[in-house]
A and B are shown apart, each in its own frame.
Chain A
Amino acid sequence: MAKVPVFKAVNVSKTYQLGDVEVKALQGVNLEVYSGEFICIFGQSGCGKSTLLSIIAGLQKPSTGEVYVRGEKLSALDNEGLAKYRRSKIGIVFQSFNLIPSMNIIENIALPLTFARISKSQRITRARGLLETVGLAKYADHTSSQLSGGQQQRVAIARSLVTAPWIMLADEPTGNLDSKSANEVMRLLISLNRKSKRTVILITHNPEYLDYADRIFFMQDGKVIKTQVNSSVKSEEEVETLSHVSEEMKDAAGEVGAVNTGDATVDEKLNKSKTKTPKQAATTETTDDADTKAESEVAPEPETAPEPASESEETPEEDKK
């Protein structure tokens, strides 16, 4: 029991007041996420998954309950503390990219470092390195409006990585992308998990992605209705089975060559998810607290994984490519 979860949500509820109507976005959510895990939070629109992510990201406070980050109460942080938490402990990727249109790509990527009071030359060097990693080096001086959706999302991922956080929160990162771009982005996220041992929490309503997760939290009506553990997860290379991945992206991930596992087609997977019968062997029909089994089945967290980098720390090697 020595392991402290990266995230632990205890009985988290969130209630909105819409006029006279009380909307229960989250109802008593309990979950734990361990270091190095790839987590999918899966559910239809309005199931509360984005609300859950924004609470984990410290963008809003739960109505009741508590979120612990490596054992520390998130509610104990003041505004300044939350800003630092978002800046240096987590990287957030949004569905709508959220790049700042008045800044060029490099400035966008470097912005969190600007907040962290890193010198201009240092942050530009760091941002350029990451831009190269996501394969967009030549777009450094462009603005976001000159980039395609997929490119913007890769820039957004580069931005989320710039302070070298060890936790990635991605809220429907492929929601606004065509399938080719979506695969590039997914491959990047999976690579961050597999190669850099980052903890990734992916919010999605796309069942295609579930096979890449170590564990899946199924959400409905503000509750986690089921937790599924994947005994064997797919590697980033296998993203290619979803559809074509550009040469550019292969280079970006540093891996060339597709491995076709002959896995189920997209359609089959979609059907599976509709009937809610994914990989039976590894499924635990649980809600809320029954995740001890899941914990034991999760690939142990590599103790070698570095701790979350503080603002001033040197960035991990992986990011430098």
Chain B
Amino acid sequence: MKIIDILRLSFGNLRRNMLRTILTVSGVVVGIGAIVFLVSLGFGLQELAVSKVANLDALTLLTINPSQKENTLLNAEAVNKFKTVDGIKDVSPVISYSASIATDSDYGDTIAYGVIPKYFSLEDISVDYGSRTFSGDNANEVVISIASLKALKLTDPAKALGKELTTKIVSVDKKEEKTLKLKIIGISKDTETKFAYTPIQVLDQFKDGTYSKVKAKISAREKMPEIRKAVESMGYPTNSVTDTVDQINQVFNIVKIVLGGFGFIALMVAAIGIFNTLTIALLERTHEIGVMKAIGGRNSDVALVFTAEASMIGLFGGLLGVSTGWILGKGINLLVNFVAVSLDGPATVLFSTPLWFAGIVVAFAFTVSTVAGILPAMRAAKLDPLEALRYE
């Protein structure tokens, strides 16, 4: 038989027993719906967690740290070497000192970073008030966070901008202290992290020629492992926000497997339902199978008609199940956000269903159903034509 005729015949058979078909498909819908709903929740929470840790830009940023080994200094020479590593687009050295900052009346502390101008775009540091552009490489200017200004009682950006801060930095190695006068030109509204950025030349008061760390921008997230390997082979330890993200992903992968497992159990029950439906159909249609064989139907024709029925149940169930799981997720998400927003909380995306996942789930439903149909199909194919004809 042609495939189109097998499909026609199978579809006709399914339509003939509409109620039974609907019930069997419902079983698959419940299983697949549960998988999609639960795993989508896993995906949603995962994306939520990752987005709290890092933005997409941060995932292409590698931090290179000073080596513990002697003769492996993190200096200008090393930076030039990093630039030659395949996949590294840009490098930006950073020096940092813990610093005390003071106005005429108040005193506080922060961490001072000496950076080059492009560091801001590299790290995606946003300046909410003022500007992040230093007037020159040697300008005594600073971009600072609200967190650092709290102790100085300068949390009003309008008042803080343009103020001059007396900044003291200390070199632990040289047991030396330097004092700088830095003018606030930009403020970040970050109230959690203390930081203050100045041009690197300004902060480089001790002239020891090494950097605290080097930030490297890489061309693609996927290249991170090999680039890290290359840099680390030079003797420099690295870290990246991808480490944290990987850990989060790992946890959520397990969560998703567990959640999907519940749905899988439901799908297995549905598969037994399909098996049952086809076995009953086999009994009902035994005589019909006998007729088909007597007038020239091949065993394979009979088997394919049965298998196609199972496959169709799986396909319909898969498609409907994905839709159901997706709609259910969206609905609950809407409900949660409605409550959250009415309580002045932020609206969040809790459910996320990647298209590839939906596709895989439909394919999975199709496969499981087809497999469930194989045994009844084989039995149908092997029926003795004469005995089947006599069966009423």
What is A's interface to B at a CB cutoff of 8 Å?
Answer: 54, 57, 59-60, 79-80, 83-84, 86-88, 92, 94, 98-100, 102-103, 111-112, 114-117, 119-120, 159-160, 163
Contacts and interface: CB of A to CB of B under 8 A. Distances in A.
B12 interface: yes
B291 A100 contact: yes
B296 A83 contact: yes
Nearest to A97: B291
Interface in B1-48: 1-2, 4-5, 9, 12-13, 16
A114 B5 contact: yes
Nearest to A58: B385
B102 interface: no
Given A114-B5, A115-B301, A98 B296 contact: no
Interface in B291-317: 291-301
B386 interface: yes
Contact of A92 (B2, B295, B300): B295
B389 interface: yes
B384 interface: yes
Nearest to A92: B294
B386 A115 contact: no
A102 B296 contact: no
Contact of A102 (B13, B293, B295): B13
B90 interface: no
A117 B297 CA distance: 11
Contacts of A120: 4-5
B294 A98 contact: yes
Contacts of B1: 114-115, 117
A112 B13 contact: no
B190 interface: no
B288 interface: yes
Given A100-B288, A102-B12, A115-B301, A88 B296 contact: yes
12 contacts: A59-B389, A83-B298, A83-B299, A86-B295, A87-B295, A98-B287, A98-B291, A111-B292, A115-B295, A115-B297, A119-B2, A163-B296
Given A102-B16, A117-B1, A57 B292 contact: no
Nearest to B392: A96
A102 B2 CA distance: 20
Given A100-B288, A102-B12, A102-B13, A112 B295 contact: yes
A87 B296 contact: yes
A102 B11 CA distance: 12
Nearest to A85: B296
Contact of A160 (B5, B13, B295, B298): B295
B391 to A, nearest CB: 12
Contacts of A59: 293-294, 385-386, 389
Nearest to A89: B296
A112 B16 CA distance: 21
B226 to A, nearest CB: 54
B58 to A, nearest CB: 60
B296 A57 contact: no
A184 B256 CA distance: 70
B5 A79 contact: no
A60 B301 CA distance: 19
